[in-house]
Chain A
Amino acid sequence: MRDFTYVLADDVASAGSLVHNDAVARAVQTPDDVAYVAGGTTQYDLMRDGVWSPGTLVDISRLPLADIEVSDDLLVVGAAVTMADLARHPSVVDLDVLRDSLLLAASPQLRTMATVGGNVLQRTRCRYFRDPTVTQCNKRVPGSGCAAVEGTARTHAVLGVDAGCIAVHASDLAVALVALDARVRTHGPHGGRTISVTQLHVRADEDPARDNTLVAGELITHLEIPLPDARSGYLKVRDRASYEFALTSAAVVARVEDGVLAHVAIGLGGVGSVPWRATRAEEVLRGQRASLALFEEAAAAELADAFTVPGTAFKPELARRTLVRQLRDVTEVTA
């Protein structure tokens, strides 16, 4: 493990203003070899495993980013809010898709440490990526190849991937966020901006070496989550009944009016190199009369171009069934 400098970005000196926080300002201006750390549940693992060892760690967990504000139909969540705290917020306990994406993730201990900002930026669990003795990994060493494509790939992705990298983005929360049309607010070298979560991550088939579209030093400050006027739910399918990443998952937000799908938004987990917004399925569904046959058609459309290797051959079918089940349960359609 490489020596590193640890900087606690304490809010006191800068009187609550992020822009004036020295540590953050330095990280934003000279971001080379610097990483933020919040709960540390991903970052410290990566460092211990020798996968990513930045020279400076800027700890943002004490910044004034731990508040949750609700205004009308918008939830604004500080990036340093923990998964546990968000899950028990009054506006979230009844928002099934968001609550369950949090409560079905990781373990109570991890959720108490882990922040929502860190969650959406967590790095892939691919064991070839996380073991530096493996020489072929386009994500870790661009151009080196992909050990997983020919290796053991049961937990890997089938959408937004090609033979260059099949890493899955394993966040559950981000899958719910894409279905909720959520955005992230950031603070970076060019000031502040707002990015849709669907635009935050980079597909592996576009550039495996890049996880997201943030520029170096850019900090997520808040999540903006529109509260939907719709029913919702999150279904997570996994071998183990708890404490496991998704084999497949489906976040569904939908409103049925007179039997017709007036609103539908879908996120799929466990299958995409990014939190997967199922736009093709949505197109099939939108404005149509809800029925199980229609759900089957929509799910099939979404998975039609899946890229599989032997280890992931089962995933498109499991993902289709997961989505159909969740559409059925959220819409309460029976036939």
Chain B
Amino acid sequence: MTATTQAPTTAAPVIGAGVTRVDGPLKVTGAVPYADDLAPRDALVGVLVGATIASGEISLVDASDALAAPGVVAVLSHHDAPRVVRPDEASADERAPMPPFQDATVRFHGDYVAMVVAQTREEAVHAASLLRVSYDVAEPVVDLNDPRALRETDDPAGADSVRGDLERGVAAADVVIEADYVTGDNTNNPLGLFSACAEWDGDALHMWATTQWPFNTADCLAEAWGIPREDVRVECPYLGGGFGSGLRPWPYIHAAAMAARVVGQPVRVVLSRPQMFTGVGHRPETVQHVRLGARRDGTLTAVEHTATIPVATDDDNPENIVSGTRQGYAVEHLRADVDQVRLHISPPGSMRAPGEAQGNFALETALDELAVELGIDPVELRMRNEAVTNPDQDDLPWSSKALDQCLRRGAELIGWDDRDPAPRSMREGDQLIGYGMAAVSFFYFQQPCTVRVVVRRDGSAAVHCAAMDIGTGTYTIVTQVAAERLGLDLSEVEVVLGDSSLPASPPAGGSGLAMAISNATALAVSGVLGDLGLDGAPGRDVLARAVGDRDEVRAEATATPPDPAELGMSPSGAFGAKFAKVRVDADLGLVRVERLVSVIDCGQVLNERTARSQVVGGTVGGIGHALLEHTVTDLHAGPQTGRVTNAHLADYLVAVNADVPDLEVEFVGGPDRLNTVGVKGVGEVGLCGVAAAIGNAVFHATGRRIRRLPITPDLLL
């Protein structure tokens, strides 16, 4: 079964119009089929059991009592679980997360050591408590600053870069500032707990799993089991939030497939909330160092940005912390460098704006410090160093860039020039008031995407793609693009997504899907119109006549990322400017955000409503990143080393309504020149820069520079 959507009849479709989500009625009535809703209802239940040490070897999993407990069907552990191949993550030179139960090694606290399969969840949970797992404990290394940790200076993320001669740039500077910045570990925490249900039919595997990339998950499962790709099907038409945590083929997915194989029946695994902290990635903490050199007039002469991030002991998921630094400003002399440190922590993964969220905080805070040092307005400093061409790509002209408009408009909206720029100069009663800003140059990410367009005998159309809509509005924008180009009403286009058996798609990640899928849709529409001997946007009657007495006419097209050199331009990601107004209690150190203005250049806005919602959601995440969210791991030596201490929604603080003011969002700029539709991604730019803008506002309010996230009251006492 596959989920489809059917839009209500509305006025003529227009790209850019804020039409309501085509899946809105299904969502608000509870009718959307989340992956697990499609899975067999009579599946057995698998409950995963995590290691209670962070490093060592399992000496024994004694399941005798568990197997004797009511309802228990099987217990899987490394003793007897099926052996599978560890897959590569598709189209990346990276190993996917290690499938579970393949050896006796414990790599982190919470690493799966066993799974109990029972008739009901309660029975499985109870039996899990009867398992006796013994370990040969080794000493874990979990602290990023631990000198024993293995440091890797290679560059798997393609982050490192040298331009010019840094020391010459520093020598040419009138002012040099340098400081260390620390960002804490964060956990995505989508509300929907991740689930996977597997059913085998002979050697063919059917899965319903929470994923932001069904196509790749199917690839990885085929590789793991050594079965033909066409015998694997992964469905996920909807999920309850992802934020990047659904991008990788996580071990729990493999566990469901293994269990179903062993018991010969469908098995469903649903992670618990604590397991969501160790089983589906997290935004790695960072320690960063930034050195900036500038002339008196604010011209940057040197930028150095280095970072250390953790990776799990047996995993590859390095993040590029410095992408924004490399392309953000016109500076001749630059050194950017990211090192990885191997720790006994759960494998990190993407969390909204991976790398850029952390790196932007350091760079844009450092720029604020430089502005203060130079006595130059922070907005002015950014404009003075604008990268008119992309310094990170042979100084090619950007395919589009409206960052200066973002900065000007943002300043205007927040009343930047009306503030008293002196630190700790604005106060109302106990409340210190501060304004701060940051700029964002988000990276461009694009992978090939294939879309099939079907025109039916009645002139209506369907669009098919394996891609996922993670709640961003993919169903809606694809409907809009297809409807506009075919001359159909929105209700005459059916969009089918979230199924690995459909044409190949990139991940719903990297702010890349809207661009990829809208262009592929436009290309496939052109293809089908060509096949029908039509052009323009013919409309339903003409389409129906052209299809004639055939059932349907289909065309597939692939949007492939262009070669910048050939194009003579540098593909742009989104740009943005963030302006924050905060209140800080002078005695209690409480920071509350009073206003947050985001002005975004994301090229052609496909849908004003869903695009705005992306920026609003991103900003909420940014407020959490700035002030609240922090996954805390026990670092002290002892039995709890490496355990996440706040793996619970009462203790891991995400922003609630009271933390979020009415958010102001505006879009500037026009269609990007790179692709036919003119789109750039908007999924992550909303989060970036929020932390730096808030931190800079806290400095303006209090005169205190906090170079650490989250900025909590104890840091401001």
Contact = CB atoms under 8 A, between A and B. Distances in A.
Nearest to A325: B587
A151 B588 contact: no
Contacts of B125: 1
Interface stretch (B193-201, B489-497, B574-582, B627-635): B627-635
B640 A134 contact: yes
A321 B122 contact: no
A242 B713 contact: no
B550 interface: no
Interface in B618-669: 627-628, 632, 634, 636, 638-640, 643, 645-648, 650-651, 653, 655-659
A67 interface: no
Contacts of A155: 651
Given A151-B634, A151-B636, A239 B712 contact: yes
A150 B636 contact: yes
Contacts of A242: 656-659
A6 interface: no
B657 to A, nearest CB: 7
A273 interface: no
A127 B717 contact: no
Given A1-B122, A317-B717, A240 B659 contact: yes
B653 A244 contact: yes
A288 B82 CA distance: 77
B223 to A, nearest CB: 34
Contact of B588 (A130, A135, A136, A325): A325
B129 interface: yes
A154 B712 CA distance: 11
Given A242-B657, A244-B653, A136 B639 contact: yes
A127 B638 CA distance: 16
Contacts of A243: 656, 658
Contacts of B129: 50
Interface centre among A50, A150, A239, A318 (most CB of B within 10 A): A239
B452 interface: no
Interface string A128-154: 101101111000000000010011101
Contact of A127 (B52, B122, B126, B646): B646
A134 B643 CA distance: 9
Contact of B653 (A50, A131, A240, A321): A240
B592 interface: yes
Interface string A209-247: 000000000000000000000000000010111111101
B476 to A, nearest CB: 31
B93 interface: no
Interface residues of B, number: 38
A303 to B, nearest CB: 13
B648 A318 contact: no
A286 interface: no
A239 B627 contact: yes
B549 interface: no
Nearest to B646: A127
B714 interface: yes
A44 interface: no
B595 to A, nearest CB: 15
A321 B588 contact: yes
Nearest to A150: B636
A133 B644 CA distance: 12
A136 B52 CA distance: 13
A2 interface: yes
Nearest to B110: A133
B111 to A, nearest CB: 13
Nearest to B430: A325
A232 to B, nearest CB: 19
A239 B653 contact: yes
A322 B639 contact: no
What's the dominant secondary structure at chain A's contact region? Answer: loop
B418 to A, nearest CB: 26
A72 B643 CA distance: 54
B640 A151 contact: yes
B590 interface: yes
A230 to B, nearest CB: 23
Nearest to A3: B126
A2 B646 CA distance: 25
Interface centre among A128, A150, A152 (most CB of B within 10 A): A152
Contact of B714 (A131, A134, A136, A314): A314
B585 to A, nearest CB: 8
Interface centre among B627, B645, B655, B658 (most CB of A within 10 A): B645
Contacts of B651: 125, 127, 155
A244 B588 CA distance: 16
Given A147-B638, A152-B632, A240 B712 contact: no
A128 B659 CA distance: 28
Nearest to A235: B588
Contacts of B589: 318
B133 to A, nearest CB: 11
Contacts of A324: 587
Contacts of B590: 237
Interface in B677-717: 710, 712-714, 717
B378 to A, nearest CB: 27
Interface string A1-42: 110000000000000000000000000000000000000000
Given A241-B658, A318-B588, A128 B714 contact: no
Interface in B265-284: 274
A240 B717 contact: no
A239 B713 contact: yes
A136 B713 CA distance: 30
A151 B129 CA distance: 24
A84 to B, nearest CB: 18
B588 A240 contact: no
Contacts of B713: 237, 239, 247, 318
Contacts of B710: 239
Interface of A: 1-2, 50, 125, 127-128, 130-131, 133-136, 147, 150-152, 154-155, 237, 239-245, 247, 314, 317-318, 321-322, 324-325
What are the 10 closest A-B residue pairs judged by CB atoms, nearest first? A242-B658, A241-B658, A314-B714, A152-B645, A321-B587, A133-B52, A241-B659, A150-B636, A240-B653, A243-B656
21 contacts: A1-B122, A1-B126, A125-B650, A128-B640, A147-B640, A152-B645, A152-B646, A154-B714, A155-B651, A239-B627, A239-B628, A239-B712, A240-B656, A241-B592, A247-B714, A317-B717, A318-B713, A318-B714, A321-B717, A325-B430, A325-B587
Given A242-B659, A245-B650, A325-B430, 15 more contacts: A50-B129, A125-B651, A127-B645, A131-B274, A136-B640, A154-B632, A155-B651, A237-B590, A239-B627, A240-B659, A241-B592, A241-B656, A317-B717, A318-B588, A325-B588
